[in-house]
Structure 1
């Protein structure tokens, strides 16, 4: 396989991107438009009833973001005209047949013109309703591959998954596919149709009981956790994404398929500028809590490797993988996009750098006063030990108080109830994040490394620089202190 230029590869291509309002999809769209303005068309699929609503969402939730400031600067007054020529927003729903595209003429146009599909549609909520997660992450994959089979000139399909579909495996985690029906704990065979049927029946049962939306949401979230744990997955996100991969591999036929499995995605490293991020993502919750002086203790180990990767490196890997797929005889390639094998970054590193940053640039409280953060966090190696701690810290001191005593203007009973809710919330967070804070695996990235090495041999210095995905080039201290945490504070902290 010989690489050419990514610039040439993208020239004249028509690319369909699902989940276009998502974090990674925005970055992908921005990068493509910035490096190859001669792209033929970008069809951006957004959850919307029609194209009018989709167009509004495109402008409000994608193009208006600061992420596009470099591209806006490049085009100046012609930016709107450029976008209108190159980008078309399409209302869709990936959880239904034909991706929910109701306009027959528009659907036929997409089927006739699309060269590449990038499926970035997903719900990444660890505690999502099972019906919602299955609809987008699992059945969405089925609807995407069925749509792809009807695209007359399709060259390849890239599916964005997650490295953490491996669950809580230890040791070296290979870039290997999941077999249909495979589980993580050796339980009875996983049957996706049965999971779908159970989900639908539970919904019907709740609707027949005239359950409130709050009750339905609670029950379906709990069911998601139960079904995930039954088969060995820690949460409904990883469970439904794993099933989505199984469907793609089973149903793809002759379609060349790329599965990108990024690890924990952080803010941008370099492009279009350092530090851009949306919201507070995964381990960043703990960085923010630390900065707010609210992280004295947590589940985790200082020695745990946080497999993290800047978002722009994920995008670079995806684009280079697309170019490689166009030249390869292989019909399926899986890429872990992470750092744990080649440039490990530990919880202790993150804690030390967070302390350095917030000591020099403290957050302020609601009165404008700087927040002091402690030097060290007390890390606990199990959820049960954390539970014992917060019971002693928050609940036991209240046990002996008289019910009629007033505490902080509340009765003891009300205050006790409030404390219980706080403890429940803290325990929920720790259970959700425990698989990542205590993770003992290392992600093999042999396929991704081969891709990088082949690209290096092409000796296209422009491409190597503009599409860098090498984790060994990350100086964690510089990146975290000068890009990631400042970006997190600017774009994520409320």
Structure 2
């Protein structure tokens, strides 16, 4: 089943769909009374989430009475944080930075596990033993494990399940003590089944925001989205604004999309292909390149629409890659978007690529994303926000790197004495870039045949076909980024930098203009990718 009975009643109470308030119109400062009624109906279906603890907004703090700068250290001192997605790349970086650089209180980690013992095992293997935490380990020495076990509280849960998969004891504790919720969990497979992506990236976040509305001390809800929810924008500059929503103005009617899934009944043997094709069709029809981007856009809409008066911070990073400065330059977890291309080129399997050479490739190191999120939370956590604040954490506007630069820096790295990704040393020429797929495909097939034709037996031919197909699929998969001409404006992040004290700017580096892309790729990212992922 796609959703549980409780979740089904969330989208389909016994009234006609037009009364839900979730057939989105443009965001208004005035809350539609239909939405209030809709929200009350929703609470009745969840035994643990029965009250809203945000009747009165917190008293704003006058900035004149703050310490110098934003007051990051002051804000986080003793604050308790719930992190959802803490074992992922960004979530792990945020947890490490909070523990290393602030006097944070408890950090509750929602961990997908079958039992408390299994959750502790994941905490040990994926966080405490992670190389990312080596600086923290060096700082605390023999008390390192004790420090982390005292600070980090693993909770068995799964946001794809009712009540977020938590038991009543965990729910009561989090509701009572948590000040900030960071929701960074998501399914990131671009063309996953539509039903699975909607469950993970749309329905699951609305469970979390419903829970947030019952937390007694909550100051801020932080939702991690992606800058590419704005892909449909035709402007040269995409600004940090909430999405335009609704079926009547070119937006997305989320209720209709859910209804479409609920009415789907493919043959069980054909379900995977059916839902993958359905997702690609819906994304293309509604203006996105991938099902993932569509689902993340809908997730933003749902969270913003049903949050009530919960203060909302939306973080939209672009393409997250390895650490630039801290705690370990080059540290990365898993293959990110640029990395299959780098690996393929380093193995001599990428003679050409289909892309606009001058298009900005909007990549951002994970430590800058973590720092920006932490600084933004500190800034907005003490001042009540009636409207959500959106932050693009991106590079294309302030310090762009192009597709051409990426391939040029790759070539500089692999042409020298550096480690190759093959068992034998080979000559790796520069990649030829084409903006026409047919021309790219013709050239690639000819070049790959030259490299594979020695011993033209069946095995070689199969190898040739597989390599060509893989390269072509890479180009198709990343087309949304390699031909995307718009740049993501980062005015809110720039303003954040200006408001930070010099000490905060040094300890929580967020300014993308300080990145040297040639140094980052040749000396930090590619070596880190080889060390932590390819060889690791």
- Fold equivalence (TM over 0.5): yes
Distance 1:140 1:190 in 2: 18
2:109 aligned with 1:55, yes or no? no
Distance 2:205 2:329 in 1: 32
Which of residues 197, 205, 220 is equivalent to 2:266? 205
The Cα RMSD (Å) is 2.5
Distance 2:480 2:433 in 1: 14
Query: Which residue number corresponds to residue 462 of structure 1?
Result: 503
Deviation at 1:51, TM superposition (A): 2.4
Distance 1:55 1:269 in 2: 30
Distance 1:416 1:377 in 2: 23
Q: SS at the partner of 2:266? A: helix
Aligned residues of 1:165 and 1:238 also touching (Cα < 8 A): yes
Which of residues 279, 282, 299 is equivalent to 1:227? 282
Compare 240-249 and 357-366 and name the one that shifted more.
357-366
Compare 46-55 and 223-232 and name the one that shifted more.
46-55
Deviations 1:417-448 (A, max 9, x none): 76555544433222110111111011111111
Distance 2:312 2:291 in 1: 24
Aligned residues: 466
2:526 aligned with 1:485, yes or no? yes
Aligned residues of 2:70 and 2:375 also touching (Cα < 8 A): no
Distance 2:508 2:390 in 1: 19
Deviation at 1:137, TM superposition (A): 0.9
Which 5+ residue runs of structure 1 have no aligned equivalent?
399-405
Pick closer, same or farther for the CA change 1:74–1:395 going to 2, 3 Å. closer
Distance 2:516 2:395 in 1: 12
Distance 2:371 2:323 in 1: 11
Q: SS at the partner of 1:140? A: helix
Aligned residues of 1:291 and 1:362 also touching (Cα < 8 A): no
Aligned residues of 2:252 and 2:298 also touching (Cα < 8 A): no
Query: Which residue number corresponds to residue 355 of structure 1?
Result: 411
Query: Which residue number corresponds to residue 253 of structure 2?
Result: 191
Query: Which residue number corresponds to residue 122 of structure 1?
Result: 186
2:531 aligned with 1:476, yes or no? no
Distance 2:523 2:399 in 1: 18
Q: TM-score, normalised by structure 2?
A: 0.81
Which 5+ residue runs of structure 2 have no aligned equivalent?
1-62
Deviation at 1:168, TM superposition (A): 5.0
Deviation at 1:365, TM superposition (A): 5.3
Deviations 1:340-364 (A, max 9, x none): 1111111222222212211224434
Q: TM-score, normalised by structure 1?
A: 0.88
Aligned residues of 2:237 and 2:489 also touching (Cα < 8 A): yes
Q: SS at the partner of 2:314? A: strand
Pick closer, same or farther for the CA change 1:441–1:387 going to 2, 3 Å. same
Which of residues 37, 40, 45 is equivalent to 2:110? 45
Distance 1:462 1:305 in 2: 31
Q: SS at the partner of 1:492? A: helix
Q: SS at the partner of 2:240? A: coil
